[in-house]
Structure 1
Amino acid sequence: MTELLPLNPDELLTTTRSVRKRLDLERPVPLEVIRECLEVALQAPTGSNAQSWHWIVVTDPGLKKAIAGYYAQSFDAYRRSASYSGARRFDDPARDATQTRVASSADHLAAHMAEVPVLVIGAIFVGLQLPAGNQAGLWGSLLPAAWSFQLAARARGLGSAWTTLHLEYEKEIAELLGIPARVRQGVLLPVAYTKGTDFKPAPRQSLDAVLHLNSWSPVSA
């Protein structure tokens, strides 16, 4: 088993960041390490214990280049939208500076996606079609496992970034990889060793700004 970083649970949870610019694009990632991370991911909760998730690990340069091409097309549209991280502004200079850094790192990842050693797509068996209305029950059986994968990767000196922009071309990527129509993709995780492991907690809003107790009224009111 791969040697783990000396992180206690709280350190692991609060320092697992979306890593983009600090992904080491030159260092190979052994498939066995990815398998270790996925074994951890399979311990995540899943509705009715269905375990209907699937994991597509892509290392072939041609396939990565094709996926990166679709991602770049989607990212270009995102970059010109109001949702782009660099377009979001707040009444807080420090938070605005953070948004600028996030946008720069997102730009970097989009430009270098094909060079990332491993791409991992988390998917789940759906059936004939996605359920109507709130789909939390469905995705709640996949996304916690994907986060567990990211935590396991961090513990082994690897970094990743949660991305979903590829879903604009989900059908094309499914055809490229031979993913059945009844299996839907939920997340794309570019994975590589990181340049250094000294990640820190990110600045966040205060808990009281988003905490509600017994009603929607904020606790700080």
Structure 2
Amino acid sequence: MTDVLALGPDELLTTTRSVRKRLDLDRPVPMPLIRESLEVALQAPSGSNRQGWHWIVVTDPGKRKVIGDYYREVFTAYRNSDAYPANRTWGDADRDATQNRVADSASYLAEHMADVPVLIIGALKASAELPASNQAGLWGSLLPAAWSLQLALRARGLGSAWTTLHLQYEKEISALLGIPDDVRHGVLLPVAYYTGETFKPAKRQPLDEVLHVDTW
């Protein structure tokens, strides 16, 4: 088993960041590292212990280019929309500056998604048509494992970023990768070694602004 970074639980949890500009696009990622990280992810909980997840690891340059082209197209439309966080003013200079930095790094990733050496799609066996009601119970059987995967990757010196914009072309990407109709995508993780030494915790809003005890 590969040596992992000497990170305590709190440090691992607070310094596993979305990595975009600092992804090393030129350094190959060994498949054994991906497999080790996925073995960790498979220990995550799932509803009724169904373990209905599937992990599609894409390393083929041609397939990565197709996915990257779809991603860039959707990102470009999103970036130019009112829904894009950087296109609004938050009324806080620090928050505005942070959103601008995130927007810059997100634009970089969109331009270079096809160049990231490994793309991992976390997917879940489900009906072809997702329910219109609250889907928390469904995706709660995949997303904890995907986050566990990001933590395991980080512990092995690899960076990743949580992305979902590719979902607009889910059917096309499934056809490209031979994914059955009853397997639905939940997340796309670009994975690479990261540049620099480490990461630090991000600034977050005060806990008391989002904490509710016994009542809203």
TM over 0.5, shorter chain: yes
- Tell me if the contact between 1:19 and 1:161 (Cα under 8 Å) persists in the aligned partners: yes
The structural deviation recorded for 1:10 is: 0.1
- Tell me if the contact between 2:57 and 2:121 (Cα under 8 Å) persists in the aligned partners: yes
The match for 2:158 is 158
Tell me, what secondary structure is at the counterpart of 2:38? helix
Distance 1:122 1:40 in 2: 14
- Tell me if the contact between 2:121 and 2:185 (Cα under 8 Å) persists in the aligned partners: yes
- Tell me if the contact between 1:65 and 1:114 (Cα under 8 Å) persists in the aligned partners: yes
The match for 1:219 is none
The match for 2:15 is 15
Distance 2:31 2:86 in 1: 35
For normalisation by structure 1, the TM-score amounts to: 0.96
For normalisation by structure 2, the TM-score amounts to: 0.98
Seen in structure 2, the aligned counterparts of structure 1 residues 70 and 128 have a Cα distance that, compared at 3 Å, is: closer
Q: Which amino acid aligns with 1:121?
A: I
Count of residues in Structure 1 that have an aligned counterpart in Structure 2:
216
The match for 2:40 is 40
- Tell me if the contact between 2:128 and 2:183 (Cα under 8 Å) persists in the aligned partners: no
The structural deviation recorded for 1:198 is: 1.5
The match for 1:191 is 191
State percent identity of aligned pairs.
70
User: Runs of 4+ in structure 1 displaced over 3 angstroms?
Assistant: none
Tell me, what secondary structure is at the counterpart of 1:122? strand
The structural deviation recorded for 1:128 is: 4.0
The yes-or-no answer on 1:105 pairing with 2:109 is no
In structure 2, stretches of 5+ residues that fail to align are none
Tell me, what secondary structure is at the counterpart of 1:48? helix
Partner deviation per Cα, 1:103-137 (whole Å, 9 max, x = no partner): 00000000000110000000000034212300000
The match for 2:136 is 136
* Aligned-CA RMSD value: 0.8
Q: Which amino acid aligns with 1:125?
A: K
Tell me, what secondary structure is at the counterpart of 1:100? helix
Tell me, what secondary structure is at the counterpart of 1:185? strand
Tell me, what secondary structure is at the counterpart of 2:18? coil
- Tell me if the contact between 1:52 and 1:125 (Cα under 8 Å) persists in the aligned partners: yes
Distance 1:166 1:47 in 2: 25
Distance 1:128 1:94 in 2: 43
Q: Which amino acid aligns with 1:141?
A: S
The match for 2:119 is 119
Distance 1:89 1:176 in 2: 39
Q: Which amino acid aligns with 2:207?
A: L
Distance 2:178 2:108 in 1: 28
Distance 1:173 1:88 in 2: 31
In structure 1, stretches of 5+ residues that fail to align are 217-221
The match for 1:87 is 87
The match for 1:181 is 181
Distance 2:105 2:132 in 1: 35
- Mean CA deviation greater in 103-112 or 75-84: 75-84
The structural deviation recorded for 1:172 is: 0.5
Partner deviation per Cα, 1:159-183 (whole Å, 9 max, x = no partner): 0000000001001101111110000
The structural deviation recorded for 1:153 is: 0.5
